[in-house]
A and B are shown apart, each in its own frame.
Chain A
Amino acid sequence: MNKHFKILPFVFLTAFIILFGCDSSEDNVSGSQIDTSTPILNDLDIWLRSNFVSPYNIDIQYKWDVNDTSVNRYLHPPYPANAEKIAQVLLDVWIEPYNIVGGENFIKNIAPREFVLAGGFNYNPGVPTITLGIAEAGARITLFNLDELDFSTIAYESDIIGDDDDFDVQRSVVGPISTVHHEYGHILNQNIPYNPAFDVINPGNYTAQWFNRTNEEARSLGYITNYASNQSSEDFVEMIAQMLIRSRAQWDDLIDNIGVFDPGTQSYELDTAGERIINTEAINIIRQKEQIVVEYFAQDYGIDLYELQALAHQALLDSVD
């Protein structure tokens, strides 16, 4: 008993310490201090939310955020009117054709979650090139030079070698939509890789100095554009982009007339009748690539690429002002 009596004060003291030792601070949990209120929305913002965010979970970022682009480039936001025009083109020429051939959930399932729009050209420092678009991790596509576009024009490169007017393509609707087809091709490839047989069709002339080639020279080497001769992954998506901006007849006409090109004189070689000598080797290479691309869409996505081509081209024609 005496022994228990002695322990009792210690028990009380310990209980006191445990109960009151950490008592002086009070919890002060209140509501969130982060501002989650809806930002000011203008008519364009509301339209974009209705047509891109709600149905496709795609955000069209036309308002400037310095974190969306490289801080080392001199870029500016586009005029909102041009942002609206390109958004409509994206709906009609990119989303709708894919939805028709791939099912209404195709773009909902596989799409970049964000488009970033910039008004001016994105010049690459130290080299005579500009960046037309960027695809980042399948999540974001950035499009440049929207304020330089003529939305009433569809332009294709001329048949004149090295024609300066070929840049008109990038000032027409064809410029950004081919960029979207190109970058979306990368996103499809990130979901399902393409057949590696594509990489070994003609790897010998891939070069980082692709910009020193004209499109005509690249085609005579078996690449659909000069940028396609950069590396095989770009080659693959350039095939997609160049097919989808043309009708099948235009595409066949482009491929079947690839000539034998003399890099020394930067001209096509002509036969005795003065006609362009057709480069059957280059044509065969590009047709092999075309077959792999068509099989990729058919087998991996259940899409008839030629049907998609017809829809995308018609939508492109319909899109001009």
Chain B
Amino acid sequence: MKRKIYTHYWILSLLFLFTFSCNDDIAESTFDSPPALRIQESVGELKQLLVSQPQGYKATYFTKNDEKGGFTFFMQFNEDGTVRQTSDILNGDFDIQTSSYDVRYNVTTELVFTTRNHITEGTNPDAVDPDGEQVHPGNGYQGTNNFQYFSVDENGVIYFRDVRNRDSASLILTPTNFADFDSESLASVQQSHQRRLEFNVCQTTTAFSIMQVTSNTGVVDYELNYNGSTLFAEPRFRGVDGSLTGIDLGILFTENSILVSPPLEVDGETLEEFFLDETSSELQYVSTVGGVTAVIGYSATPIFPILGYSELSDFLILHNPFLNSLADDWTPDLTNRCFEELIVDLNASISLFDVTRIDLYGLDTDAGTLFIGSSIGNAFYDISKNIIDDKVYLAITGTTVPAFFTDAVQPLLDVIVDPEGLYVDQPTTLNEFSNRIFSFVPASNTTIRYSAVAL
């Protein structure tokens, strides 16, 4: 009997334990509030931040810094869901436009520009550069309309990212602290747009954009490979083993500086902003951090000239309505506007014919042929080739072309058979492909640059 009672109490005790041991479920709260509330709070926080600056924000936006550069915007957010914007992205259209925006929760809290304005030009597949050329047909600047809220710092600077270009895009909003948003923002974007244009004017710069980095370990010269259409550079330098190494650099012009993205890392220092050196007679932007100084500008000669006697290809097409557009797709700016204008002016000045095509044959040897196609027939010039002191010298050695034709095309001959020689280089990493690209700059006129596709 006693044993039975003990058994019952044991069972009861166990039942008691099982029941109450799971009763006080003391969950450790990771968050103070439920998810829906936290989402609302996050959305509300960003909304509040955006409208907290009555004089708006200055925005620097790199759309995709491994292929494209960036632009400067000014944005004034209003409580009624509208935002006023101006920028330097619309090639001289600086008008302040009003559109709508929204702050939503998608994957995370996002700022969405819901109707068209300056910043949506980043997603315009037909975006054009200041010359009216399409930046990248079908893709444009490869930007976004949805920006993921990333963080805000103690100065009120808000950082956003793009889910599509997660590691290569950035939008940073910095309070302007302007006294007058309209006048000061317009003045700023007009100035930054002007800086962009100035950096890419063939008449006032040489054809060789460069970057020079000086640090404790020495001086490294980079061929900048700057593309004024995409605002993107692919600087290359020659390593100690002689091989060429390239990096990606998105370029963004401000009123008096160039921002680069990703930042340049040299000897442990981070260089992000290059300031216009107004004391220099040359157009150059300088960044100095710690013991490192980097300069972006132009040089009188190429960083990597053609040195080998037979490095040029057998068959080079310099000017061809179809193939030049092909070359432009590969190497924009390598045939620069000054050369295009030279051809246009030449044809305008000749009443009898138009120059339609220019080829060079046999430049892999010491003698070759210059071919000039025209609307009244083809002209062939025998040429010789010499390479002296980093320059290629072409000279006409014979022809049966009538004198009137040669006289008419003399401005063109001057930049091909330049007595002072030609700087020739292969300024693009795209030369890894089978159709190599060569770039020619006449030493007597370094504003001219024309590229040739080797077939």
Contacts and interface: CB of A to CB of B under 8 A. Distances in A.
Contact of A64 (B15, B80, B115): B115
B123 A74 contact: yes
A196 to B, nearest CB: 37
Contacts of A64: 112-115, 120, 145-146
A137 interface: no
Contacts of B20: 17, 21
A39 B81 CA distance: 10
B142 interface: yes
Given A34-B36, A64-B146, A147-B116, 5 more contacts: A39-B81, A40-B80, A74-B124, A123-B125, A123-B137
B36 A74 contact: no
B100 interface: yes
A299 interface: no
A162 interface: no
Interface stretch (A77-85, A249-257, A267-275, A279-287): A77-85
B402 interface: no
A79 B116 contact: yes
A65 B124 CA distance: 16
Contacts of A213: none
B140 A74 contact: yes
Nearest to A67: B106
Interface string A3-36: 0001000100110010001111100000001110
Interface string B179-198: 00000000000000000000
Contacts of B5: 6
A65 B104 CA distance: 10
Interface residues of A, number: 38
Given A13-B12, A17-B16, A21-B20, A63 B126 contact: no
28 contacts: A10-B8, A13-B12, A14-B15, A17-B16, A17-B19, A34-B36, A39-B81, A39-B102, A42-B100, A63-B100, A64-B145, A71-B163, A74-B123, A74-B125, A74-B138, A74-B139, A74-B143, A75-B125, A76-B116, A76-B121, A79-B116, A119-B116, A119-B124, A120-B124, A122-B125, A123-B137, A123-B138, A125-B138
B114 A77 contact: yes
B81 A120 contact: no
Given A21-B20, A22-B23, A40 B81 contact: yes
A186 to B, nearest CB: 25
Contacts of A121: 125-126
Nearest to A34: B36
B319 to A, nearest CB: 24
Q: Is the interface of A mostly helix, strand, loop or mixed?
A: loop
A34 B38 CA distance: 11
A65 B112 contact: yes
Nearest to B110: A66
A63 B19 contact: no
A76 B163 CA distance: 16
B240 interface: no
B25 interface: yes
B132 interface: no
Nearest to B11: A10
Interface residues of B, number: 42
B145 A76 contact: yes
Contacts of B143: 74
B291 interface: no
A184 interface: no
Nearest to B125: A74
Nearest to A126: B138
A62 interface: yes
Nearest to A21: B19
B241 interface: no
B146 to A, nearest CB: 5
Interface string B131-152: 0000001111011111000000
A211 B205 CA distance: 44
B100 A33 contact: no
Interface in B62-119: 80-81, 99-100, 102, 106, 112-116
B331 to A, nearest CB: 22
Given A33-B34, A40-B81, A74 B112 contact: no
Contacts of A80: 99-100, 115
Interface in A43-95: 62-67, 71, 73-80
Given A71-B164, A77-B114, A80-B115, A120 B37 contact: no
A77 B115 contact: yes
B106 A77 contact: no
A130 to B, nearest CB: 9
Contact of A24 (B15, B23, B121, B138): B23
Contacts of B113: 64, 77
